[in-house]
Amino acid sequence: MRIAILDNERDQARLVSHTATSLGHECHEYTDEATLLEAIRTQGFDLLIFHWRQSGIDSPALVKATRHAAANRLPILFTTHRADAADMAVSLHAGADDFLVAPVSIAELEARIGGLLRRSNPALHEPQLVFGPYQFLPALRTVKVRGRRVELRHREYDLALFLFRNIGRLLSREHLYKEIWGSGFEVLSRSLDTHLSRVRVKLDLRPSNGFMLVALRSFGYRLDVVDETAHSEPTSASDTAAGQPRAFNRTRAARMPDIVAGPAP
């Protein structure tokens, strides 16, 4: 997972970063609020960890600004040198999700990170999702096509997984913007088309692989199943291990809404 760390106490920041990195996470350290917020808007993170009492930083305001920049999707964990009840109340009321009292232990940090990520996006902890020759490993944010790993950027991965989770649905451009970039995020008019074009090429979405990405001018995009007999619905590792893959039902896809302009059911 991608973790942003804000702490102007360098030793504390390095300790948190080293601990989280040892758990397999990708960490990015920041020392000022403006740079952090810009990175959240443009790069995307799975978790923010920051020290509550930092000189020159209004922590409650930072939490609210982070919520706005990340469209309220980013779990926030803060550290503090003292378990002060007033601080806890202010921080949680401002929108923080959890806290740790420094010095931070590896076991406790691992537990808090894991708990927050599971609650914020349960799908990340599914062992795998399989759609014909396409295998998604949410915990690693990885896609494989016929066993070969495909390198996708952060939002390319999010787009790909969202399309496969909504096979057969015509997704409006506005809905895709909101789901991938977040409400209130300013997206250039061609940015979505560019990202989807890259996803189509990198994942080789064509009939021989069983799926096609269809663009309908002025409406949106739809991922269609081309060969209904050769592909399956998303299955987890436990489904596959049990030898019970489920065939994709083309009739079911046909009954889905023509256009999804809001949250998919």
- Each residue's pLDDT expressed in tens, for the chain with a length of 265 residues: 789 999 888 888 888 888 888 877 889 999 889 999 999 988 878 899 998 888 888 888 999 899 888 877 789 998 887 766 777 778 888 888 888 887 777 888 888 888 887 777 655 556 788 999 999 988 778 899 999 999 998 889 989 999 999 999 999 988 888 888 775 555 555 788 899 999 999 999 999 999 999 998 778 999 999 864 444 445 554 444 333 333 344 433 333 334 444 444 3
Tell me the C-alpha to C-alpha distance, in Å, between residue 32 and each of 37, 39, 68, 135. Answer: 9, 11, 17, 39
Residues facing 130 on adjacent strands = 135
- Supply 132's token pair: 């014909």
Cis amide prior to 103 (ω within 30 degrees): yes
Provide the pLDDT for residue 46.
Answer: 86
User: Tokens 């914020």 identify what position?
Assistant: 120
Reported for 111-116, long-range contacts at CB under 8 A and 24+ positions apart, including other chains, are 112/77, 113/1, 113/3, 113/20, 113/23, 113/25, 113/47, 113/77, 116/47, 116/75, 116/77
Query: Which pLDDT does position 246 carry in this prediction?
Result: 38
CB-CB contact of 73 with 120 (8 Å): yes
Q: What is the pTM of this model?
A: 0.51
pLDDT of residue 264: 40
Q: Are 235 and 130 contacting, i.e. CB atoms less than 8 angstroms apart?
A: yes
Q: What tokens does 112 get?
A: 């808090």
Phi-psi region of 205 (alpha: psi -120 to 50; beta: other; left: phi over 0): beta
- Vertex 183, ends 182 and 187: CA angle to 5°? 70
Q: Give me the pLDDT at residue 198, please.
A: 94
Q: For the chain, list the domains and their CATH numbers.
A: 2-120 (3.40.50.2300), 124-254 (1.10.10.10)
Provide the pLDDT for residue 230: 44
> Which sign does the torsion angle of CA 92, 140, 202, 209 carry?
negative
Antiparallel, parallel or unpaired: β 211-216 and 220-225: antiparallel
Do 56 and 31 touch, CB atoms closer than 8 A?
no
